Amino acid sequence: MQRYPRNMQGYGGRPPAADWPGGARIAVQFVLNYEEGGENCVLHGDAASEAFLSEITGAQPWPGLRHWNMESIYEYGARAGFWRLHEMFTSRDIPVTVYGVATALARSPAQVTAMQEAGWEIASHGLKWVEHRDMPRDEEAAQIVEAIRLHTEVTGEPPRGWYTGRCSVNTVDLVTETAAFDYVSDTYDDDLPYWREHAGRQQLIIPYTLDANDMRFAIAAGFTHGEEFYQYLKDAFDTLYAEGLAGSPKMMSVGLHCRLIGRPGRAAALAKFLDYARRHDRVWFPTRLAIARHWAERHPAPAPWERPSQMPKEAFVTKFGGVFEHSPWIAERAWEMELGPAHDTAGGVHNALARIFRSASEAERLGVLTAHPDLAGKLAAAKRLTPESTAEQAGAGLDALTDEERVRFTALNEAYVAKFGFPFIIAVRGLTKDDILAAFQRRIDNGREEEFAAACRQVERIALLRLRDMLPA
């Protein structure tokens, strides 16, 4: 694999200021998954019954058969659970985003009316609540189109948000290609929204959650009673709220299902958490669409730019071939590595180039060292340095030496090269002439092995500083 598609970089420990409305320290967002009537069922033309997220431990699909117990569990969500949750949220004036499976919404007109009258956002949860992992790409694309059509027919307006849930590796790309959505939520990889580029389009991603989610009542390693759920939500809220107070506001997503949290033995825990969160100041309770619109306004999609990991080899070498002085072979080899989004920063490209430099033979590394000019040497005087070296030496005042200083540098340069076989190398940025002379005099007393290692470290440091002038941090 030459190009690694997964993004391990994200905001890199430097998240943007969320700037939530009203100076909120946290955005707490509730999702109600409405899947009842859209699950696997032979009545729906599926090959087998549903086996996912129910009260039945170890449920298995029944090929060609209706599963009466499973159907009735899902029906509980529509018949009872939904209305309990509807009253819980509307009585507290907390808005909800519904992830609505299109076929489920079509079978629940009363619930759809209640969602709309409450002012809830109804996002798309796909056409059917089924697995997509093995679905051919063209078939999934067709289902997305049909989900949008049916959703629009049932609710009167197209969905602005999308979450498949049981998605495939193609889902986010396919939804992005429709250019129909303000956000997509089929990721779990951050505490803030972010932009993802695909097929020339920037798609806003609002990550979802599987941890602060009542689905864990239906899995073996999950919650066993409501108090565990409440405590987990409280701990998540407290952590994110504290981060917000410290100046880094985040988003908290809570995932709910009518047939799970809608049961009376669990609903009390949710109500307890709602009241706990409401007692805090500077808490924003938005829909996901409100978050999307806020983020697009405050943090609009970035302008297109040439990402290092996506550059053709010639362009990559042209741009980065001089970062290690006169040593384009380093960039040539680095381009052959497994590059990805994590390498689209100064630190990322530096890591790739430095790995090549470190793994090179001693003779090759010596060649990089000898490619560097003497400090304030003959090449500088003849104005034959690279633009980078010229700027670096000038920044340290080495282009304006006194006659006495020039004599001193010349003597040290000659003594250093005679002893080590390569020029004295130091990252001069931020240093004065006196700092450089002091380092020169100190390091000339090193042994060759020690000094070779020190020079290599300085070469890497120079490369990093150059890259920081070229790329985002």
| 320 — pLDDT class (breaks 50, 70, 90) | very high
Residue keyed to tokens 């909120």:
24
Inter-residue contact 292 to 193 (CB < 8 Å):
yes
Residue 257 has phi, psi (to 5 degrees) of -135, 135
Q: Is 299 a catalytic residue?
A: no
Mean pLDDT in residue range 108-126 = 98
Q: pLDDT tens digits for 385-428?
A: 567 766 766 666 676 667 788 888 888 889 999 999 999 999 98
Least trusted range by pLDDT, from 1-5, 63-67, 123-127, 321-325: 1-5
Q: pLDDT tens digits for 148-158?
A: 999 999 999 99
Give the integer Cα–Cα distance in Å for 92 and 113. Answer: 19
Indicate whether 1 pLDDT > 70.
Answer: no
Residue of 132, 151, 343, 372 marked active site: 372
According to the model, what pLDDT value does residue 377 have? 56
According to the model, what pLDDT value does residue 410 have? 84
Give the integer Cα–Cα distance in Å for 433 and 452. Answer: 22
The rounded percent of the chain whose pLDDT value lies above 70 is 95
| 78 — pLDDT class (breaks 50, 70, 90) | very high
| 382 — pLDDT class (breaks 50, 70, 90) | very low
Residue 54 or 228, more confident: 228
Inter-residue contact 61 to 51 (CB < 8 Å):
yes
According to the model, what pLDDT value does residue 397 have? 66
pTM of the model: 0.89
Indicate whether 379 pLDDT > 50.
Answer: no
According to the model, what pLDDT value does residue 389 have? 67
According to the model, what pLDDT value does residue 245 have? 97
Inter-residue contact 335 to 312 (CB < 8 Å):
no
According to the model, what pLDDT value does residue 219 have? 84
Mean pLDDT in residue range 278-300 = 98
Report the mean per-residue pLDDT for the chain.
92
Q: Which of 163, 170, 131, 126 is nearest to 148 (CA)?
A: 126
